[in-house]
Amino acid sequence: MTIYVGNISFDAEVEDLQSLFGEYGPVRKCSLPLDRDTGRKRGFAFVEMTNDSDEKKAIDDLQNVEWMGRMIRVNLAKPRTGGSGGDGGGNRW
């Protein structure tokens, strides 16, 4: 199971997320995606923990709390669909 963390501070680092989620249990993996064009953080992250019950507790406890000056959104990540790029999959023109 993967956790989506949205609306995070652009100052947040992987270590910050590992520390935050580490309070709930061991963190297996953490990533902060970067914008392809600018190389800047995109304002969200993905966290995987080693135990599903720890993930559930983290999601429940951290949803809509202030962290690093922002109200974060924490929920179960949904698999990506489409994959055709930025126009949502259809040919708009």
93 residues of the chain, pLDDT tens digit each? 899 999 999 999 999 999 999 999 999 999 999 999 999 999 999 999 999 999 999 999 999 899 999 999 999 998 877 655 555 454 443
Query: pTM for this structure?
Result: 0.82
**What is the model's pLDDT at position 84?**
54
Domain ranges of the chain: 3-76
Q: Cα-Cα-Cα-Cα dihedral of 68, 72, 76, 80, to 10°?
A: -100
CATH superfamily of 3-76: RRM (RNA recognition motif) domain (3.30.70.330)
Q: Are 12 and 68 in contact (CB under 8 A)?
A: yes
